[in-house]
Each structure stands twice: as structure tokens, then as C-alpha cells.
Amino acid sequence: MAEDRIAVYFCHCGSNIAGKVDVDKVVAWAAEQPNVAIAREYKYMCSDPGQDLIKEDIQQHGINRVVVAACSPTMHEPTFRKAAAAAGLNPYLLQMANVREHCSWVTVDKGEATEKAKRILNAQIHRLPFNEALDPIEVPVNPAVLVVGGGIAGIEAALKLAATGKKVYLVEKNPSIGGHMAMFDKTFPTLDCAACILTPKMSAAGKDPNIELMAYSEVVEVDGYVGNFKVKVKKKARFVNTDTCTGCAACLETCVVRKVPSEFDQGLGKRSAIYIPFPQAVPLRATIDAEKCLTLKGKKCKQPCVTSCGPGAIDFEQKDELVELEVGAIIMATGFELWDPGQDARYGYGRLDNVITSLEFERISNASGPTNGEIVCKNGEPPKSVAILHCIGSRDLNYQEHCSRVCCMYSLKFSHLIKEHLPDTEVYELYIDMRCFGKGYEEFYRRLMDEGVHMVRGRAAEVTDLAMSPEEEGRLIVKTEDTLLGIVRRIPADMVILSSGLAPAKDAKAVSQTFGFGCSGDGFFLERHPKLEPVSTITDGIFIAGCCQYPKDIPDTVAQAGAAAAGALALVDNPTVKVEPTISYIDPEKCAGCHICVGLCPHVAIRYNEELKVAEVITAACKGCGVCVAACGSNVPQQHGYLDNQIFAEIEGAMAF
């Protein structure tokens, strides 16, 4: 075997690393280490000239092992491994030494940072002689794509992919697709009717031959890997045969259980136990709410739904159904939840009548909503004064630190709608800052000021019904500091709208675990890189779009959905994909066949060979998690790229001085 000739490259990363680590000193030291043939520094190793340094040294100086001391391998290991491969070196003979995230960014003292950088680097110099050349494993790609969530993000992504001829499964947990956007009245700043722009897309998604719509369904299990996911979907029983139901709604009129709070109307309207959430629902099929239906609860009912149904579609015997799908890529578009303002007792939500959430106001102002679009208080009277309170549950360290990005604008939209319906009503917007950042948004803000809306700069402190003057009697009073006037104000209002922030779905964490990626500190799905890979996750082949990633408005959501569709297409449009060869293997000569690893493998990637009486790794299923390696009592399973001798050498290097 040829002698090891290691080249060391130390990246300044501008001042990110060089500002803390004495680069000259570390490089001079590295040049003296055993097996190191070349040690260089460069301002930005990831740039083309930086990568060229590696290529030239490999080709001209017989370099056969490389360590790049720079950022985290999750950032640029692929970049440098590609460069090495381009120069003819097996990419797995290149290691990263993370001297940025693990060193310069987290160390205060310069001397200590320099010493730590030497240790981190030394670990890799010691490891490299043990690295083996590995070849990526090429696996076939299933061209179908699963889209989870049927809001505007999921619909848009599904339509884009379907247009390329790919098979798309669109899974939605509710009886209809449409998501939150279907509940809105108008959209800011153009005031398009939300239904007018959304329903054509919903209907297109329902009709597209390439889209298999699975509404009232939930993903329960995900296995496999990039290009080859196996997904189990539970199709919840609707107790209505969707093939024969025509969506005529005759059953809705006859159902005897009529006072179920409508989820779609935010509980302000009522629906029957058999229901279609809204008239434009896709698929336009009835669903029986098993918790409300008398028959399904085992009580007596004359079942007028059955007698009124011409096609005989009611089926009380229907059961949940488990469907298995095979797809090459997955797009998560599972959306958000409105932050529950009942958590902050000061605003009286749930306690004081006429304190409502923004989503409730959307339904009240919507022509197809529970009040037919009449903006009225609980007593049916139009409000003479409305206060709109911004940043409820947003920008608040007690609850959610993040800005929800859409509330300023939808609040302005509300003001406009109130002024349009009720020109004599006074409207107050209580804001911290106005964040009107999108196209046409600042212009909309200016327009609203001209429409006579009172802009009060101050976060509302409290909503109370304790009147302290005759004009306050019988009304709600919003207390706030007006920070422009420098006074404390009491603003009487008949209706208070809480502009609630956007929160991660309650099951976001569980869902992210089912699919095998993570959430960021704010609870939303974590993207692979906040700027450059905003729609990818750390799991290859799984993409994210819309508000499951972070609060965003409709234009941004649609743009992101397109980007996620393009990302998925770039994967599934190839016949094969290369996956990391850093998977485990079991030497049949050494395996005692004790079965421990078989049961522990989370990916069902180890099977027991009855004939040889040993465990075997299924190469295509192994994800390289290392559980079997750690669990085996006889130390038999080994993982390529993480062999015992490699790890021990790394530890020795780190602890050498």
C-alpha cells in the first residue's frame, strides 16, 4: 500500500474562524505532523479557488488523504468530497474537521480556541490512515410523490408535480382539502376573494388524473429512504361510500343531530352529524361524525339519512382502511394552528362575549359564513367600535417569541372590511410595529390610514368589561399605553378581534418524528439550511412547504410549494439515486446468531438467516444509524465510515496532547 500523504486545508471562513483561531500557528503545527505532506490555509475553502487547491494537490503532489478544517460537515462535506472525486480521489478519503461550530463560534478565549482547533484537526489526521475507499450505493427511484397536507401549499405542490406527469398522492386529514385559506374571506393586499382564487385549484387537484386524492386520511407510518419510501396511510371511515355519494347534501337536511359546532366555521355555525364541511368541498362527499351520529353511538335513530340518500351511499359498517404507498419523495405541507388566545387570560377570550379570534372574524365577514357576511356582535347588532389587537401570542417571550408575519396585514384587511360594511364604525388597530413588508403591503397600510382607521401604537394590556364611566357601560374596554401620545388609554369597543399568532400544529413534533426529521426551537419543521435549502429537511427525499416550516403569507407559501415540487421532481425524475455507503455489515463468520440486533434495528434492515443461523444486513434498507454496532455483545456489526479503529484513532488524536 502506498504511503499516506495527507493534505490539510484550514479555512478562515472570513473572520468566522480566523477571528478566533490563530490560523498561521495551527497550520505551521499541522505541517509537522506525521503523514501530513501539505498544510495550507485559505480565506474561503468552499469557493472555486479553494476547491481548486485540493484538486491541484491531489493531482500534482500525490495527495491521497485530505482533511478540511472548516465548518460543520452538514454544511460543506458534500462540496469538498465532490472536489476530491473530481480530482480522482475516493471522496471517503476526505474528512472534515469542524473548527467553526465546534470551536471558533463557541469559544471565547483566542488562545483556547487555537488549542482546541489543533485537537479537532489532530483527531482527523490520526483517523485518516484508517479510512477506506467507499463507493456510493446506487438504488432505483420510485417516481411517485406523496404530498402530506391539502392546504394551499399541498395543493400547489401536487398540481405542479402532476403537470410533469408524475403520480401524486395527496393526503389530507380533514374531509376536504382547502386548509385555512378556504376559511378566509378576502386576501391581502389585493382583496381577491379567497374562495375565488382557491376553489379552481382545489377542483383541479380533485380532477387531475395524476393526483390520487386521499382526504380524511392520515399517515401513520413511514419507512424506507430517499427514492424508496414505504408509507402507511389510514383512510378513516366516513361511513359513506365515496364512489356512490354524489355530494347532493340531501342527507344533511334530514339528519336529526343538527347542533354540532362547525369546525369550518370556528364553532360559530352549526352542522349536522352527517356533513359536508363547506359547499365547495373537494371531494364533495358527505362524512358521518362517528362521535355525534346516534346510530354509530349505539342509540336509536330512524336514520333519515339512509332514506333520503338516492344512491344508497350510507354505510354504517364501514371501517378504517390501511393503505400502503410506495413513493420516491415526500412533501410535507401540514400547515399551522392558530395560537389559542385563551392561554393569555388578560384578553378575556372565552370569558368575555365579543372577544373573538382573527379566524372567527374571517368566518363572520365571509358571505358564506355563519352570519352571511354581516359583521355583528353576539346580540346581532353591528358594532359601533371595533378594536383589533396585534401580536396576541406572537413576539411575546411568555408564549411565542417569533413574529407571525401575517397578522399586521390581515388586521389591516379586517379594518378595510369593517369600514366597507359599516362606514360609521370606529376601528382601532393596536400595534407594536407595523410590519408590512411584501409587495403592495406598505401601500395597503397607507390606504387604510386614509380610510380613517385609528392607528394606536401600543400593545394592548388588557380587555375588561369593568366600566369606569357612562360611555363604557355595557361595552368592552381595551387598556393600552399609547406610546406615541405617551398616555394610558381606555378604548371602548363593542367587538375586540385578537390577531392571534400562528403556532406549530400540536402534533408537529410527533409528525416530524414519524417522518424522521426535526423541529426548530420554535416548534416548526426544521429546514436543512435556512437560506439555501429552505424546503429540504435533513432527511434526503423529504421536503417541506408552507406554514409547517414557519409562518408565511399566501404568496410565499405558493412560492415555497413550487420550490418543494421542483426539489422532489429533481429527485424522482432520475431512474436512480446514490445513497451513502456508510451502512453496517455483519461478518457471518463471527456472528453468533443471538438475534439482539434483529429486534433493535429501527428500520427492519436486519434479518435472521435461518440456514446459516446468522444475522444479515439488508443493504438497501440500512440507514446507517449504528444501533446494531453499539448493541452487539460480540462487537460483530461494523459500520463503514465509522469503524472501531477509525473512531479510536480519532479519540487518540483528540487526546494526544
Work out how close the CB of 345 gets to other proteins at its nearest, in angstroms, rounded to a whole number: 3
Question: Is the CB of residue 617 less than 8 Å from the CB of residue 584?
Answer: yes
Contact between 351 and other proteins per CB under 8 A: yes
Distance CA 489, CA 491 (A): 6
Contact between 344 and other proteins per CB under 8 A: yes
Work out how close the CB of 594 gets to other proteins at its nearest, in angstroms, rounded to a whole number: 48
- Kindly tell me which of 2 and 466 has the beta carbon lying closer to other proteins: 466
Work out how close the CB of 465 gets to other proteins at its nearest, in angstroms, rounded to a whole number: 7
Work out how close the CB of 190 gets to other proteins at its nearest, in angstroms, rounded to a whole number: 39
Which of 135, 105, 134 has the alpha carbon at shortest distance from 120? 105
Contact between 489 and other proteins per CB under 8 A: no
Binding residue (CB under 8 A) for other proteins from 133, 345, 487, 510:
345
Q: How far is CA 297 from the centre of its chain?
A: 36
Contacts of 333 (CB under 8 A, 6+ apart): 147, 148, 149, 150, 151, 153, 154, 157, 544, 545, 546, 548, 561, 564
SS3 per-residue string spanning 241-258 = CCCCCCCCCHHHHHCCCC
- Kindly tell me which of 466 and 532 has the beta carbon lying closer to other proteins: 466
Work out how close the CB of 68 gets to other proteins at its nearest, in angstroms, rounded to a whole number: 40
Q: Which three cell numbers stand for residue 134?
A: 467507499
Integer-rounded Cα Rg, in Å, for the chain is: 30
- Kindly tell me which of 467 and 647 has the beta carbon lying closer to other proteins: 467
Which of 101, 104, 63 has the alpha carbon at shortest distance from 80? 63
Work out how close the CB of 462 gets to other proteins at its nearest, in angstroms, rounded to a whole number: 9
379-412 in b/e form (b: 16+ CB < 10 A) is: eeebbebbbbbbbbbbbbeebbebbbbbbbbbbb
Distance CA 92, CA 64 (A): 11
Contact between 464 and other proteins per CB under 8 A: yes
- Kindly tell me which of 1 and 466 has the beta carbon lying closer to other proteins: 466
Query: Which stretch in 109-117, 157-165, 339-347, 552-560 sits in contact with other proteins by CB under 8 A?
Result: 339-347
Backbone phi, then psi, for 161, in 5-degree steps?
-70, -40
Distance CA 184, CA 178 (A): 10
Work out how close the CB of 477 gets to other proteins at its nearest, in angstroms, rounded to a whole number: 9
Binding residue (CB under 8 A) for other proteins from 28, 106, 220, 468:
468
x-or-dash string of contact with other proteins, 286-315, rule CB under 8 A: ------------------------------
Contact between 488 and other proteins per CB under 8 A: no
Say how many residues touch other proteins, by CB under 8 A: 10
Contact between 355 and other proteins per CB under 8 A: no
State which H helix or E strand residue 446 sits in. helix 441-450
- Kindly tell me which of 379 and 469 has the beta carbon lying closer to other proteins: 469
Backbone phi, then psi, for 457, in 5-degree steps?
-85, 105
Distance CA 130, CA 128 (A): 5
Contact between 446 and other proteins per CB under 8 A: no
Contact between 244 and other proteins per CB under 8 A: no
Distance CA 563, CA 536 (A): 10
Binding residue (CB under 8 A) for other proteins from 22, 52, 396, 465:
465
Contact between 466 and other proteins per CB under 8 A: yes
x-or-dash string of contact with other proteins, 505-544, rule CB under 8 A: ----------------------------------------
Give the residues lining the site for other proteins (CB under 8 A): 344-346, 351-352, 464-468
